[in-house]
Every structure is written in structure tokens, then in C-alpha cells.
Chain A
Amino acid sequence: MNPLDLLLTPLGYDFFVRALIASALVGVACAIVGSFVVLKGMSFIGDAVSHAAFPGIVIAYLIGAPIILGGAIAAIGTALGIGAITRRSGLRSDAIIGVLFAGMFALGVAIFSSIPNYVGDLFHFLFGDVLGISVGDLLALILLVFGLLLVLRLLWKELLFSTFDPLGAGAAGLPVRRLDDLLLILIAVTIVISLQAVGIVLVVAMITTPAATAQLLVKRFTAMIQVAALIGVSAAVVGLYVSYSLDIASGAAIVLLETLIFLLALAFTLIRSRIYAARGAAKI
């Protein structure tokens, strides 16, 4: 099969094109928000929030309400709760976040197991259902991602200042606490809208991995975000094609690609620093 066929054949199916667009959007959104998450060391919180969405999703499933709404309520509530607890205790309280994380997820499992359910639905919540994305789902996703990016663009310098130097920013009159909460909400929303593509278990990887890779490679925040977004999009597109060719779950394929890219970047930077060190030693 010639390579062009490999590329074009799947595009002949509407469901694949929708899945491709959705995955790419999710890849970009997660990577951009993930840049803040990685710099602030909030990956654990990201994982906690994605798992905390589960009971919200299950309850929505139970009562027939839109799943994204239930997930959003649970995720945003948990994110803000973690923010409040972190501020109160003064330190990032791993233990308390871990407790919320596990407790919320267990709540979801308990409710799900007690209602008449279809195990395929459970798989969708945990690992995504990108092939089942409808036109309506996609439009909502497009709107939400653009809304997210718009907010980030408008509040860019405030978020940057507040993330980098909360004391300086607060003294300069920026509402640091509210900006922190806003960031938590943006993270929660990004997670929830990404769940359909990659699911609860893997979304933290979509958020963390491209940004962590970018951090290895570039030294300016704006560049970091751009590189992360590029990785997010590329991994999403290629990952979907890989999942098509190899018959494996798309979310997993995307995350595996992102991880591979990270490892390559890591190897590259290690080799590069060896070379610099050798050059430096040679000069002496």
C-alpha cells in the first residue's frame, strides 16, 4: 500500500476526520494548559482532577444529563477545593490531594457499580471514545478550545507574572488568588473536554508530557508553549493514524508517541550537554 493511500484512505470516513480534528484540538489545548501545569509542578493535581471528574460523569450518566456537564462540575469543584486547601495549608499538600483523588474516584466506581450499566460505557469514560464523536460534540469542543485559548491570550501577561512571581505580582496589584483559581478552572475545563478523546486515565499524560518535553528543549515560556502545542498536535494526528493501522486504542497510541518524543528529547539534551562539556574541557 503506497504511503499516500495510507494517509488518504482513512480521511474518506467522516468519523475518522472528526476524530482527527478532535484529537488535534485536545492535543493543542492540553499542551498549552500543560505548560502552566508543568512549571507550577501541578501534574499530580491534574491527575487528581481528571479522576475526580468520574463521579460527576457517572451521576450525569445515571440521570441522563450531558456527561460533560457532570464532569465539569465535579472537576472544577475539586480543582477549586484543592486550591483552597493548598492555600490554607501553605504547602502543596500531596496527601490531601491524594485523598480527594482516591475518594472521588471511589465514589464514581461505587455509584457506577450499583446502577444497571454497560461496561463499554465505563471503558469510554476511562479511555475515551474519540471514534464516537458526533458533529455536535465536535462543535462544542471547537468552541470550548477556542474559548480557552482566548482567555489565555487575553490574560497572558497576568498569568505569566503571577505564575512566575506570585509575591511580586500580588504586590503590583494583581489578584493572584483569583488568577490561581482561574488557572485551576482552565485546567479542569481542559481536562473535561479532553476526556472524550483520551479518557480519565490518560489525560494527565496529554497535559504533562508535551510540556515537559518542551521544557527540555527551549528556554523561553512562549517558545515552550509553541513547542508543546506542536508536539501535542503532531502526536495526536500521527497517533490516530497509528491506531487506525495497528488496531490499538487511539488515546494510548497518542500518549505513547508523546512519551517517545519525550524520551528522544531527553536523549538529545543529555548528548548535547555531554558534547558541550567535552568541548569545554577541550578548551582548557
Chain B
Amino acid sequence: MMSDYLNAIELIDVTAGYGDRAAISSVSLNLVPGSLTAIFGPNGGGKSTLLKCIAGLMQPWSGSVEVLGAAVGVNAKRVAYVPQAEQVDWSFPVSVGEVVMMGRTPALGPLGRPGAADHAAVADALARVDMTDLARRQIGELSGGQRRRVFLARAIAADPEIYLLDEPVTGVDPTTQEKIMNILDAEAARGRTVIATTHDLACAAQRFHDVVALAGRVVAHGPAQLVLDQSVLEKTYGGHLVPLAGGGVVLLDDPHHSHGAHEGHE
């Protein structure tokens, strides 16, 4: 794939939020093709918001977002978005295979009907996530890990240049986590751009190439080891760190503690 742009994703001074509250302020970020980046930070820190701005699901209040060298939306077909598990209606009467086929919608165009190539892409995606046998199962009957893999398969079937994943490994068993991360790794190695939000700092440190620490603003952006940097953690989580006797801190990433509230002590 020829790229006539340097950055797969470019945010310049982006501020966005809901109602009158900004979730992210003055965020500037460049992500290159082939990167495998984890975005971490406290709840309310803007991780989902950032992802949605890149996906074109939210309009920034100010600043600009460029995806694959053009304004957001222009290249939407080359972007795949994997939503958080809570946001999906699992009782919807669709099968695994049907969900994965939805990923082919951009390729099919407005009046297109699935053809051989599309069925092959779906079969291939299902195989990569090890869900071939479950193709006809209704999604509500799947386990948590299986559900996560279905949506990943949908993204794979779309053959996108950019993967946006909202909490892809949160709350899944280690085996599934391993499988998912292997796939993301492989995609990044092929030159795709992979961005995932996560709470799991260990996973971020071990499996991702780069990280972005986001707490309304970009605290840090760099190699994955940054996750273990105490000063970065403090700046990102603020009062969410609880010091332990004998040194070290425990990170309290409790949904009840929103960014800005000072509950811990230094």
C-alpha cells in the first residue's frame, strides 16, 4: 500500500467533550503506520472520546483530526472500529457470521451483495480468531472472550488500514487476551495502524509498542515502558495512586474516582 502521508493519524490541538464538559483538551498526537499503541488513563480521562474523534463518531469542538492524510470521514472505509463490549446489544438476533459480514459493508458499497470474495474474507477472519465452528451461533450465546473475538473478526474482515479498539482485552481471560494481542501484533507488523484503549497497564507494557498517557490532556506519548514510569503514572492518575508501605504504589483505577478528585495521599 503506497502511503502519501507520513502519519496515519494526526490530531492537532483537539478539544472535545459532551454537553459543556470537555473530555479531552488540546490533544495533539501523531501515529505512524505500523504502530501498535495503547491509550491508558483514568476513567473520564477521555480515552473513548479520543477514539471516537478519530473514528469520526464525535465532532471536536476545536482542532483538527486527519486520518490517512485526509479529513475524518473521507477514508472511513479504511478504518475499523471495535466498540466496548457494554455498548453492543447482545440480544440482537444475528449470528457470528452475520456480524463478521457487516465488516464487509464498506467494501460492498451501497447496493452491493456479498460475493465469493466477501465470503472468503469472512471465513478467513473467523479462522484467524478461531471462531469458524461458531459461525452460526447467535451472539448472545457466546462467552465474553468469544464476543470480543467476533468483533475483532469483523474488523479483520474489513481489511482496514487502521484499527480502533475500545477496551479490547478488558475483562477477558488470559488465553483470549493472548490470541487478540497476537492478531493485533501481526496486523501492526503488516503496516496497519493499531490503537487500543485499555485499563490493563501490564498488558500495555508487555504487548504494545507505544503508549499514550491520557488524562484529559496527553501526559506522555512514547515507548511502552513509559507505563512503568512513576512520574508519568502520578501525573496521569493523580490521586488514584495509593502508596504502599515499603515503597511502590498501588493504582486504584476505580470507576467511582473521576479524574481531578484528590483521594490519595502522597
Contact = CB atoms under 8 A, between A and B. Distances in A.
A–B: direct contact at CB < 8 Å: yes
A211 to B, nearest CB: 11
Given A157-B108, A220-B98, A221-B94, A171 B79 contact: yes
Interface residues of A, number: 25
B93 A171 contact: no
B133 interface: no
A224 B94 CA distance: 10
Of the candidates A39, A167, A218, the one having the most CB atoms from chain B within 10 angstroms of its own CB is: A167
B102 A168 contact: yes
B71 to A, nearest CB: 13
Interface in A198-242: 215, 218-221, 223-224
B111 interface: yes
A167 B111 CA distance: 21
Interface stretch (B82-90, B119-127, B168-176, B188-196): B82-90
B110 A158 contact: yes
Contacts of B98: 160, 220-221
B80 A164 contact: no
Interface residues of B, number: 34
A218 B77 contact: no
SS class, residues of chain A in contact with chain B: helix
Interface in A152-202: 154-155, 157-158, 160-161, 163-165, 167-174
A167 B57 contact: yes
Contacts of B105: 157-158, 161, 169, 172, 174
Nearest to A155: B110
A221 B102 contact: no
A67 B88 CA distance: 41
Closest 3 CB pairs of A and B: A173-B76, A171-B81, A171-B55
Interface of A: 39, 154-155, 157-158, 160-161, 163-165, 167-174, 215, 218-221, 223-224
12 contacts: A154-B111, A157-B102, A164-B94, A164-B99, A170-B56, A171-B55, A171-B81, A172-B103, A172-B105, A173-B56, A173-B77, A219-B93
Given A165-B88, A168-B82, 10 more contacts: A39-B92, A165-B89, A167-B52, A171-B55, A173-B77, A219-B95, A220-B95, A221-B93, A221-B98, A224-B93
